[in-house]
Amino acid sequence: MSTSSNVAPNDLSAFWMPFTANRQFKKSPRMFVAAKDMHYTTSDGRQVLDGTAGLWCVNAGHARPKIVEAIASQAAELDYAPAFQMGHPKAFELANRLVDLAPEGLDHVLFTNSGSESVDTALKVALAYHRAKGDGSRFRLIGRERGYHGVNFGGISVGGIVPNRKMFGTLLTGVDHLPHTHNLAKNAFSRGEPEHGADLADELERIVGLHDASTIAAVIVEPVAGSTGVLIPPPGYLQRLRDITKKHGILLIFDEVITGYGRLGTPFGADYFGVVPDIMITAKGLTNGVIPMGAVFVSKDIHDAFMTGPEHLIEFFHGYTYSGNPIASAAGLATLETYKEEGLLTRGAELAKVWEDGLHSLKGLPHVIDIRNIGLVGAIELKPIDGAPTKRAFAAFLKAYDQGLLIRTTGDIIALSPPLIVTESQIDQIITTLSGILKTLE
Ligand SMILES: Cc1ncc(COP(=O)(O)O)c(C=O)c1O
């Protein structure tokens, strides 16, 4: 198959790239032109091992035949069907397969096109649910410091990453935040769940005390905070959030955009931690990252609260032109089949020990102040250069790319999340390459 590997774009200025140092990139571009299984091909013909599953999304690896075929044949058969007041079979089939896979009690699915849209959908469902139940005074949303819930206004309001919020005015009102659980002094170099910090969930009681439960609609957290640099919850923390929200009639929303679809070695983070939320947000791995799609799971109780009034009326005034798009639905079905056939949703559990041992072998290398791991997620936190935060980790990213490895950095944290098809020898390659890089960082 021919690729366009030798075709260089002649002008890079028009595309204002997302979450990218545009000026640095355009002086020294890094272009992928093809991908297969665990590797990207660069425009200069090099192979780069994917240590990040794209952006935490290509869980089954790249260009998987079943998914490629499903997209091609769906595009030829039914390319688009209106999402409002019309249906097509594959969206219903996908919703059914997803509900079968989800933790018990999450029986209904709303489709979106991204994690960010899924977050705002979930927040709107939560607010409207209370109102539908005659409890419209519950308008507050509680997020968490360092939380990442995408980039739309709802998501950045409940999110807790400062640069993502500070430029954008007043955001949503009526939002409060739990403290994050990151504690280097007590938990550095923990393997798996860190010992200290479950009591931080009790801060929710303080917030409830301040605002009164009757004003709070929902609490939203990532089971494992990913984009902020992999913050793993202490044992019991999520269960405490579940207990407190239940006690006060507050909905618990898990944002599983990263932890969904096998990343932790279980289908969802809810399965890993044994805590079932009222609403579960997913995207990314749902279609293996190939076609934009998100799915928001809600409980029967939430769904049924809307199913009242005259039957000819729309029950929930929300949706997207591309909700349940036929090609995305076909990609989702083929992705779920691929996960099932290859046991990928639990493969992370089989590899977790090798992954953990490999990562923790980097302890003691220069500038490494913490290493964290869970399932097939890892993070290496570096001491920032005085006066130049993020520069050290970014240098590691550039060196890794030159040496044939894709990693991701956020602040001074290197985050790793390879596709779930990664082999033990590829894990070895990731660790060996990183070890060499860490030894040479300024
Ligand atoms: C937990 C979480 N929520 C939401 C999002 C936003 O997803 P998207 O970039 O598809 O809008 C992300 C993306 O990384 C995420 O990690």
Q: In what order do the strands lie in the sheet with 368-374?
A: 368-374, 377-382, 413-416, 408-410
**What's this model's pTM, rounded to 2 decimal places?**
0.97
Q: Which atom of ligand 1 has the smallest separation from the CA of 152? A: 11
18 in Cβ contact with 24 (< 8 Å): no
The yes-or-no verdict on residue 3 having pLDDT over 60 is no
- Residue ranges covered by each domain of the chain: 22-60+343-440, 68-341
pLDDT band (50, 70, 90) for residue 8 = low
Supply the residue whose CA is at minimum distance from atom 14 of ligand 1. 227
Q: Report, as an integer, the average pLDDT of 264-287.
A: 98
Q: Which atom of ligand 1 has the smallest separation from the CA of 57? A: 14
Mutational pocket test of ligand 1: of 20, 258, 261, 410, the residue with most ligand atoms within 8 Å of the beta carbon: 258
- C-beta of 265 in contact with ligand 1 (< 6 A): no
- C-beta of 148 in contact with ligand 1 (< 6 A): yes
Q: Which atom of ligand 1 has the smallest separation from the CA of 114? A: 10
380 in Cβ contact with 410 (< 8 Å): no
Per-residue confidence (pLDDT) for residue 9, from 0 to 100: 61
pLDDT, one tens digit per residue, over 252-270 is 999 999 999 999 999 999 9
pLDDT band (50, 70, 90) for residue 1 = very low
112 in Cβ contact with 320 (< 8 Å): yes
User: Structure tokens of 79?
Assistant: 């390319």
pLDDT band (50, 70, 90) for residue 5 = low
SS3 371: strand
pLDDT, one tens digit per residue, over 50-60 is 999 999 999 99
CATH of 68-341, one of 3.40.640.10, 3.40.800.10, 3.30.70.980, 3.90.1010.10: 3.40.640.10
Q: Report, as an integer, the average pLDDT of 192-220.
A: 98
Dist. CA 2 → ligand 1 center (Å): 33
Dist. CA 120 → ligand 1 center (Å): 11
Diameter of the chain by CA atoms? 68
pLDDT band (50, 70, 90) for residue 29 = very high
Q: What are phi and psi of 65, to 5 degrees?
A: -55, -45
Per-residue confidence (pLDDT) for residue 6, from 0 to 100: 53
- C-beta of 258 in contact with ligand 1 (< 6 A): yes
Per-residue confidence (pLDDT) for residue 2, from 0 to 100: 42
CA distance linking residue 163 with residue 216, whole number of Å: 26
Per-residue confidence (pLDDT) for residue 231, from 0 to 100: 98
Dist. CA 269 → ligand 1 center (Å): 15
Q: Would you state the CATH architecture of domain 22-60+343-440?
A: Alpha-Beta Complex (3.90)
Q: How much of the chain, in percent, has pLDDT values that exceed 70?
A: 98
Q: Quick one: the chain helix, strand, coil %, rounded to 5?
A: 40, 20, 45
* CB-based burial label for 210 (10 Å; 0-12, 13-18, 19+): exposed
CA distance linking residue 150 with residue 52, whole number of Å: 18
Per-residue confidence (pLDDT) for residue 124, from 0 to 100: 98
Q: Which atom of ligand 1 has the smallest separation from the CA of 56? A: 14
- C-beta of 283 in contact with ligand 1 (< 6 A): yes
Q: Which atom of ligand 1 has the smallest separation from the CA of 117? A: 11
Question: What is the chain's mean pLDDT, rounded?
Answer: 97
Supply the residue whose CA is at minimum distance from atom 13 of ligand 1. 150
Per-residue confidence (pLDDT) for residue 320, from 0 to 100: 98
Per-residue confidence (pLDDT) for residue 7, from 0 to 100: 55
Q: How much of the chain, in percent, has pLDDT values that exceed 90?
A: 97
- C-beta of 149 in contact with ligand 1 (< 6 A): yes
Supply the residue whose CA is at minimum distance from atom 8 of ligand 1. 115
pLDDT band (50, 70, 90) for residue 199 = very high
Q: Which residue type is seen at 264?
A: L
Q: Which atom of ligand 1 has the smallest separation from the CA of 281? A: 3
Supply the residue whose CA is at minimum distance from atom 12 of ligand 1. 150
Rg (Cα) of the chain, in Å, rounded?
22
pLDDT, one tens digit per residue, over 293-331 is 999 999 999 999 999 999 999 999 999 999 999 999 999
pLDDT, one tens digit per residue, over 30-50 is 999 999 999 999 999 999 999
Q: Report, as an integer, the average pLDDT of 186-200.
A: 98
